[in-house]
Amino acid sequence: MTFLFTSESVSEGHPDKLCDQISDAVLDAALAGDPASRVAVECFTTTNTVIVGGEITTRTPLDVEALVRKTLCNVGYTADELGIDGNICNVQVLLHEQSPDIAQGVNEGDGLYAQAGAGDQGLMFGYACNQTEELMPLPIVLSHRLVRVLADLRHSGKLPYLRPDAKAQVTVEYSDRRTPKRVDTVVLSTQHDETVSHEKLSADIISQLIKTAIPAELLDEKTRYFINPTGRFVIGGPHGDAGLTGRKIVVDTYGGWVPHGGGAFSGKDSTKVDRSAAYMARYVAKNLVSSGLVDELEIQLAYAIGVADPVSIRVESFGTATVSEDEILRVIKEAFDLTPAGIIATLSLREPLFAQTAAYGHFGRRDIDLPWERCDKVAEIRERAGLAVGA
């Protein structure tokens, strides 16, 4: 039975993504000088204003205002008519240290349990499938690709009328859950200057963006295109819509194909399992799919604050596993250290690598080297499952 499924992505200039990038820029700056930094930074932006608030415990001297301005300007917000001017906008910084009540549950030996515990309670999902080379669902892969190529067209000057704010949405028709058939609909809204006509913008976006970013075999005469469907998108950025850290969590993950636990990523150091355990769950799922044990895998992890081991682990193989789900659980528990300390060590999460994830998705990235995207546990998984290594 065929069905349609839709995912969306947003550009680096979308107000919510601006806030994610600022939050992660602060996180990376703290980690660069002090790998043990505790960071929980939120950002809010609106007309001519950026507010950064939250909790930081670090030995790194931080110039947060400079980080804000650099992020805005790198994205392209350098004039008020674009939506905000990073050079002159109002920046407010409202930061204080992490609560000692939280810290004692995360510091090894300080809380009720000997091991370093999770920084909060919560549930996280990880996923991988064989739909794409990225081992991700096709709709979110294509949506990310569209906004990333759109940014390239803007930065290169090939389409000089483009401005930073943009969104893409792709609807894919499936033959069944594991078999994408064609692209049914593409929706693309991009900020632009006053000079370009809607007709020229639409023609350029279809020819220079969509038909280069999406494989030709997925497009046909029935594919529908909606380009700036309101007819005008001049006012954008923080002046058009307020932005907030953590409001694009479905964009950040799997495009709605599988559940999201609810916790956002950006601005959080790796003691926060909202982020680190979601990365670990992706790492586990991707290695299991790559090992051939399963063609599609969803994993749920759940934690209690101050407790090291997950309180639950659940797997769903959607009928694609070559072994039982009990066997998959056994392999996961034997092959992967799912404690916060184990996750941090396995994925090198004390390194300042987070700002690069704050736009265009945290998973399925082939343009950057992310530890949780590596398939370096395949041989061990196959051995533990009793399968021939390398077969």
What is the C-alpha to C-alpha distance for residues 385 and 144, in angstroms, rounded to an integer?
35
pLDDT of residue 240: 96
The candidate with the shortest Cα–Cα distance to 163, out of 194, 207, 119, 123, is 194
As a whole number of Å, the end-to-end CA separation of the chain is 33
Per-position pLDDT tens, the chain of length 391: 899 999 999 999 999 999 999 999 999 999 999 999 999 999 999 999 999 999 999 999 999 999 999 999 999 999 999 999 999 999 999 999 876 555 555 555 555 444 656 767 899 999 999 999 999 999 999 999 999 999 999 999 999 999 999 999 999 999 999 999 999 999 999 999 999 999 999 999 999 999 999 999 999 999 999 999 999 999 999 999 999 999 999 999 999 999 998 789 999 999 999 999 999 999 999 999 999 999 999 999 999 988 889 999 999 999 999 999 999 999 999 999 999 999 999 999 999 999 999 999 999 999 999 999 999 999 999 999 987 665 5
The candidate with the shortest Cα–Cα distance to 310, out of 163, 125, 137, 108, is 125
User: What letter represents residue 130's amino acid?
Assistant: N
User: What letter represents residue 334's amino acid?
Assistant: E
pLDDT of residue 116: 59
pLDDT of residue 341: 93
pLDDT of residue 391: 54
- The CA–CA distances, whole Å, from 161 to 81, 144, 192, 225, 378 equal 13, 21, 5, 20, 47
pLDDT of residue 106: 58
The candidate with the shortest Cα–Cα distance to 355, out of 245, 248, 266, is 266
What is the C-alpha to C-alpha distance for residues 54 and 40, in angstroms, rounded to an integer?
6
The structure tokens 């004390």 sit at 350
Tokens representing residue 266 in the block: 């950006």
pLDDT of residue 387: 79
Q: Quote the pTM value.
A: 0.94
| Residue 361, CB-side half-sphere exposure with 13 Å CA sphere | 30
Residue 357: partners with Cβ closer than 8 Å, 6 or more residues away:
24, 252, 265, 266, 365, 368, 370
SS3 labels along 275-307: HHHHHHHHHHHHHHHHHCCCCEEEEEEEECECC
User: Catalytic residues, which ones?
Assistant: 14, 16-17, 42, 55, 167, 233, 241-242, 247-248, 268, 272, 274
